[in-house]
Amino acid sequence: MATRKEKREAEKNTNFFLEFIRIKNHFFKDLNEWLRGVKDPRHQSYITYLPDVILYVMILKNIMGLISMRETTDKLNKDECIKNIEKMLGIEGLEELPHYDTMNDFLSELDPSELEKIRVYMIKELLKKRCFEDFRILGKYWGVIFDATGLYTFKERHCEHCLKREYVNKETGEVTTVYMHQVLEAKLVIGDMVFSIGTEFIENEGEEVSKQDCELKAFYRLAGKIKRDFKRLPICILGDSLYACEGVFKLCDEYGWKFLIRYKEGRIKSVGEEFKAIKEIEGMSIRKREGDIEREDNIFWANDISYNERLVNLIEFVDEGEEGDKRYVFITDIKVTKKNALALVCAGRNRWKIENEGFNRQKNLIYAIGHINSYNYNAMKNHYLLAQIADILMQLYINGAKVFKLIKKTIDNICLHILEDLRNKILTYEDITSLAKPMQVRFT
């Protein structure tokens, strides 16, 4: 345990921006080249800033917790910032950083698939390092959570792709129409970290559509993308009860994926009724030892329940708490045994991480993904994707940098430290050369 003095010294002697770059280079040594290599949609005769400069500044905007584009331009308008970014990108002659209007104009034209390619590169680099193997489900499958969230709402139609919802006041009968943009995310679960592995925007093709786009439709599109990008990745789908349906099961069969999905009564009635009957007759439980305490885990399961010419397995866990029992049931195509029952329950309950470590953090603690940085729909998509790329980097930094194992910091404080060191500490030749030294990063 470090003393308070040791913690002060560690904080004083750490360049938090440099340490962030060290983690970035350790995992993604070619990231700058990928940023530089995106297909630039602009007319070449009008270009002042290359794509890597614009995208690098945008990633830093998210890393440093800057909410608005104007704030980004104001905060980074320092000679020290310009020099540091110039050195990190390995370029010369950078006299100014791009204005927020310039960055938004670029994002308005950039094809979002260019940023998706960068994210695929990042996830593949992480998997290549094989430092996350211990986080596979049952040592075999990578847990991927699917869930949707709302991004923006409008009182009037924003664009032809808006989703439309009508709410009726039960007392007055008044109808309120809301227009919105939503997104479906697929997150790779690595312990307490969740990395964006795929994004699909839930959007209408036009204003006049007979049936609006929805989360399940977006899921089938997103699943196809992930299968294309990660052909041989052994995936186990995690999701809420919406995904407990034949279409999802059939897709998993086709792609060679597994599923471990939250099950709620009424979703597939016949399966629930059979599980209830089996549990009453042949209720099973397993025992496990934690330290010197032996306790009974309220885990019940039943294998080989018939559904639509297939067999599924159900597993139930009752969490006994002071505020009452909470019941969790999961449907899966993984055979449940005494050895893996508890591990499957733990993996299934990881689904909530996309809401807490994922959407809640990105909306309320950092990135502010619900803030409108541009009213151009294409730019909105790119802003969101850049936040996902930044989030991968930030999670690796917070969980992997040695300094945070010694001193504990809130996300706000970490963002502020990075910003202040970028603004006030010009990187030296020794700093730059130190980035080439090999390092070890350990995660628990």
Cα Rg of the chain (Å, integer): 24
Of 332, 271, 338, residue with least CA distance to 305: 271
Indicate if 81 and 174 belong to the same structural domain. no
Indicate if 227 and 353 belong to the same structural domain. yes
Indicate if 98 and 222 belong to the same structural domain. no
C-alpha triplet 20, 23, 24: angle, nearest 5°: 85
Of 256, 261, 193, 332, residue with least CA distance to 340: 332
Of 196, 229, 36, residue with least CA distance to 117: 229
> What are 318's strand-pairing partners?
327
CA 425 to chain centre: 31
Say if 219 falls within a structural domain.
yes
pLDDT attached to residue 158: 94
pLDDT attached to residue 283: 52
Say if 236 falls within a structural domain.
yes
The number of domains in the chain is 2
10-residue mean pLDDT series, the chain (444 residues): 83 93 96 96 87 97 96 95 95 94 96 98 95 94 96 94 91 90 96 95 89 95 98 96 96 98 90 88 51 55 92 90 83 94 91 80 91 96 98 96 89 95 94 89 80
Tokens standing for 40?
């630039």
Say if 130 falls within a structural domain.
no
pLDDT attached to residue 171: 84
Say if 82 falls within a structural domain.
yes
Indicate if 60 and 155 belong to the same structural domain. no
What string of DSSP letters covers 266-311? Answer: TSSHHHHHHHHHHHHHH---EEEEETTEEEEE-EEEEEEEEETTEE
Say if 118 falls within a structural domain.
no
Indicate if 52 and 163 belong to the same structural domain. no
Say if 176 falls within a structural domain.
yes
Say if 165 falls within a structural domain.
yes
Indicate if 22 and 50 belong to the same structural domain. yes
Indicate if 190 and 322 belong to the same structural domain. yes
- Sign of the alpha-carbon torsion through 31, 32, 33, 35: positive
End residue of a domain, out of 328, 359, 390: 359
Helix axes 51-63, 100-109, angle to 10 degrees: 110
Indicate if 166 and 263 belong to the same structural domain. yes
Indicate if 276 and 318 belong to the same structural domain. yes
**φ/ψ (deg, to 5) at 168:** -105, 125
Tokens standing for 386?
């850049």
> What are 324's strand-pairing partners?
321
pLDDT attached to residue 57: 97
End residue of a domain, out of 359, 388, 408: 359
Indicate if 229 and 280 belong to the same structural domain. yes
CA 62 to chain centre: 14
Indicate if 187 and 231 belong to the same structural domain. yes
Indicate if 272 and 327 belong to the same structural domain. yes
> What are 152's strand-pairing partners?
181
**φ/ψ (deg, to 5) at 127:** -65, -35
Say if 441 falls within a structural domain.
no
Tell me the residue range of the domain where 224 lies. Answer: 140-359
- Cα 123 to Cα 233: distance, rounded to the nearest angstrom: 11
CATH of the domain at 245: 3.90.350.10
